[in-house]
Chain A
Amino acid sequence: MGLDIRWPIGIMFALIGALLVVYGIVTNWDAELYARSLGLNINLRWGIVLLGFGAVMLAHAWRAQRTAPPAGGGSQK
């Protein structure tokens, strides 16, 4: 049905991942903040994972769109 769900999922996680990475870099000096996460800059690390996941989703969506050009409403039923 019309929309490929991988686009919104990919975009959302890439955005949130990027946000966490940036936030992680900006707050990297703050040892007190990361005392909770056992001294790991979990925002930076997990941000990279989310960014990677988003990128994979987007790549899949992009490939699917290229190999099968949008069929409009014709493919339904």
Chain B
Amino acid sequence: MQPVALAAVDYIILLAYTAFVIGIGFALRRYMKTSEDFFLSGRSIPAWVTGLAFISANLGALELVGMAASGAKYGIATSHFYWVGAIPAMVFLAVFMMPFYYGSKARSVPEYLKLRFDERTRCLNSITFAVMTVFASGISMNALAKLLNQLLGWNYNLSLWICSAVVLLYVFKGGLTSAIYTEVLQFFMIVLGFTPVVYLGLKDVGGWDAMKKTLASVAQDPGTLELSEKTFAPEAWSSAWQPLLGGPSANPMGVDIFAMVFGLGFVLSFGYWCTNFLVVQRAMAARNMSAARRTPLIAAVPKMLFPALVILPGMLAVTLAWTAKDGYRLPPRLIASSAYAPAIEAVTKAAAQAPEAAFEAVGKAVGLKLNKIKVAALVAEHAASPLEDETLRGRLQDAVVENDYDGVILSLVKKYCPPGLLGLALTALLASFMSGMAGNVTAFNTVWTYDIYQAYIARHKSDAHYMWMGRVITVVGVLLSIACAYFASNYNNAMDIVQLVFGFVNAPLFATFLLGMFWARTTAHGAFYGLLGGTLTSALFHALTLAAGNTAGIKGGYAGVVWSFPSEMAQNFWLASFAFTACLLLTLGISLATRRTKSDAELGGLVYSLTPRIRDEEQAWYLRPAVLGAILLAGCVILNYIFW
């Protein structure tokens, strides 16, 4: 695969964008007077800005790349991550939970836990959250730098350090405000940068209906494109719900409808959107309660429409690959550079072997699934007259049939963008990366400074001291994420374990918040031990279950396989459901058995039944969260109906 060369015009666009995001940081520097300004934007930002920042912080590079990948692998059912797995939770956050986050004047989500329960729960939550954000940004940095390296030939180290330096510079100067403002700019950049690519792709395949028709053929024979070993009903890629209704074997995700609706739609989605400080922090920076509550609702509008921008490209890629239009194919996995020498040796030896054994030997040396005909042709040609190493490498790579789904989005950018538009689309990709990273960095520096440093290390210091700490930890946070990126590029398996462990902690978390906010009787003991119990349940569940096609080990089942799931996704959704239920029941039980340590007065503003209702009757109807939420949910139902 030839890396694309950028023209001068592309670099100008890239530089213009970089100059503007850094410029915003410098312009905001003079407004950073107190630590509240730095960590919370002085709670002064209008709702449309926090709303777009809310969604932009969530729309990191991994989301963009990963959703296109899922669009190719699973088709339109991927939209459930949006219409089932996001919108309802965002509406719930706005209507029911925001009053407590914003109203309690907590400066972070862990701090809310401290106000509601006690130090232990906060400590557990803040430390896991802080470590998790660093790892999350490291993983996405690694993925991006690798992608840029493979597809554009950019130097891995250089892209890693330059991108991080830009983010560091503007967050260091302008704190959360700067992150939020640039996120709004990045939001528009992402939307305006990818729209023309999707438009061209859709035009190229002949429109929506033509794509649907092709996808029907794909579904009946996905093996041709190495998408799946099974075959499906024609609508498996182009209908959101019908394949799910047929049970886990009827859809490429391998998920049943209960896991989808309860596991993803309730447990995982509410757990992410309603408790993750990364997004909640944006709403906490809003200028007043009403703006804070409108933040997730404003964010929900683009979120609802994003599938067209991020999932559709994956479906388009599959369609193009099926018709092999202009020779397009899904990007293949790259052969590791260390595998070339043994592979070439295997090809050389192959002429003397039986075709079947030769094919197997070459495949083993390469380490990836290969195309039999292409390998046989290569072996024959090489035996007739020895080929150059360079040619051999190219031919071997060409023979790889395993798909690298993460490359799908960039393969479309390469296919459709002439110089000019190419610069814009790449800038959009970098913008998504930076918005995600800045989100992680600002959430990390706040939690570190307020919930770890101020709470346990240096209690009664001046405000200026904490602001200084915030700047220092911003630098440290970025450096730690860079370290994590290198770690991820070298020890992929170790990274999987780390993510797994965080998954265990996050799965039950929403139960703790739900009971804490809506049941005054929940005690500090109940919350802490319930959360611990939920986490242990996830670990245990993981140890005892396995997804089909995986071997016992890091993917689960290392303590014996009690239950096996049709896919990893199903395993994840069910794990979350179990952990949530365990945490809920344990917290309930322990709370009933222990004493409350906080009085009703202390819980005012923190618990639903002890907080005066917010009266929003004076507001115009179109500004009331409940009304807006209902409209959004209705829109969501309509979308599900259209793509049923």
| Chain A interfacial positions (CB closer than 8 Å to B) | 1-3, 5, 8-9, 11-13, 15-16, 19-20, 23-24, 27, 33-34, 36-38, 40, 42-43, 46-47, 49-50, 53, 76-77
Contacts and interface: CB of A to CB of B under 8 A. Distances in A.
B125 interface: no
Nearest to A5: B181
Nearest to B421: A42
A19 B11 CA distance: 12
Given A8-B24, A16-B13, 13 more contacts: A3-B28, A5-B184, A9-B185, A13-B188, A20-B420, A20-B421, A23-B420, A27-B419, A37-B200, A37-B417, A38-B203, A40-B200, A53-B188
A53 B415 CA distance: 26
A76 B42 contact: yes
A47 B417 CA distance: 13
B196 A46 contact: yes
Main SS at interface, chain B: helix
**3 closest Cβ pairs, A-B complex:** A43-B420, A12-B20, A5-B181
Interface in B193-215: 196, 200, 203-204
B424 A46 contact: yes
A19 B12 contact: yes
A8 B13 CA distance: 15
A36 B417 contact: yes
A43 B424 CA distance: 10
Interface of B: 9, 12-13, 16-17, 20, 23-24, 27-28, 30-31, 37, 41-42, 44-45, 49, 177, 181, 184-185, 188, 192, 196, 200, 203-204, 415-421, 424
Q: Which of B20, B24, B49, B418 has the most CB of A within 10 A?
A: B418
A56 B196 CA distance: 20
Contacts of B31: 1-3
Contact of B13 (A2, A11, A19): A19
A33 to B, nearest CB: 5
Given A1-B177, A5-B49, A38 B420 contact: no
A3 B196 CA distance: 30
Contacts of B421: 20, 37, 42-43, 46
Contacts of A77: 42
B23 A42 contact: no
13 contacts: A1-B28, A1-B37, A3-B27, A5-B49, A5-B184, A8-B24, A8-B185, A19-B9, A19-B12, A20-B421, A33-B419, A40-B200, A42-B420
A8 B42 contact: no
Contacts of B44: 1, 76
Nearest to B184: A5
Contacts of A16: 13, 16-17, 424
A40 B196 CA distance: 11
Contacts, number: 95
Which of A2, A34, A43, A76 has the most B CB atoms < 10 Å from its CB? A43
B420 A24 contact: yes
A44 to B, nearest CB: 9
Contacts of B42: 1, 76-77
Contacts of A36: 415-418
B185 A1 contact: no
B16 A15 contact: yes
Contact of A38 (B24, B28, B49, B200): B200
A43 to B, nearest CB: 4
A17 to B, nearest CB: 9
Given A33-B418, A37-B417, A42 B184 contact: no
Contact of A9 (B188, B416, B419): B188
A32 B416 CA distance: 13
Contacts of A15: 16
A53 B181 CA distance: 17
A42 B382 CA distance: 44
Contacts of B192: 13, 49-50, 53
B545 to A, nearest CB: 47
A46 to B, nearest CB: 5
Contacts of B184: 5, 9
Nearest to B177: A1
B7 to A, nearest CB: 9
Contacts of B417: 36-37, 42
Nearest to A57: B188
Nearest to A32: B418
Q: Which of A13, A34, A37 has the most CB of B within 10 A?
A: A37
A7 to B, nearest CB: 9
A8 to B, nearest CB: 6
A1 B42 CA distance: 8
Given A3-B181, A9-B185, A76-B44, A34 B418 contact: yes
A68 to B, nearest CB: 12
